[in-house]
Structure 1
Amino acid sequence: MTLRNPESVEPDAEFANNAFHDQSFPKQEQNYEKISEYLELNAGYLPSMTIFDEVYAKYKDIDRK
């Protein structure tokens, strides 16, 4: 959610914006597999799982600092 930016057209910001508005998105979940499964089954707004993979990697890097 920290990557949200309504003014941006970058894929990571668009994903974050859409996930924020997705009432069912598991916002508190930290398990990669559970989030990935949710997105594969429910997120028509995500054009590629690669975007999620990249955003999740950024999240884990921030989380480690």
Structure 2
Amino acid sequence: MRKSFYQFLMTKRNPSSTESVAEFANNAFYDQSFPKQSTDFDELSKYLEENANYLPSMIIFDEAWTEFIETN
């Protein structure tokens, strides 16, 4: 079974890290509305653009998405 993007992102969590993808994962963990089951780029991108004020740049999402696709 294919992992959702959220499941992948949670492997990047590290509360003591200052790396951008770890901070993204840490913040997404606390985002109650994050689309946790999604594997759809457009759905996730739209959600993040409209709701994720904790994500300073969509480039962080794009890099995480690329890694998600390569490893999933």
TM-score, scaled relative to structure 1: 0.93
Equivalent residue pairs, number: 63
The equivalent position to 1:9 in structure 2, one of 15, 18, 26, is 18
CA distance in 1, matches of 2:24, 2:12: 9
| Residue 37 (structure 1) aligned with residue 46 (structure 2) | yes
CA distance in 1, matches of 2:50, 2:68: 22
Q: Sequence identity, in percent?
A: 59
Give the drift of 1:28.
1.2
Give the drift of 1:2.
1.1
Unaligned runs of 5+ in 1: none
Give the drift of 1:62.
1.0
CA distance in 1, matches of 2:14, 2:71: 18
Q: Which has the higher contact order (CA 8 A, sep 6+)?
A: 2
Q: How large is the Cα RMSD of the aligned pairs?
A: 0.6
CA distance in 2, matches of 1:15, 1:39: 11
The equivalent position to 1:19 in structure 2, one of 11, 24, 28, is 28
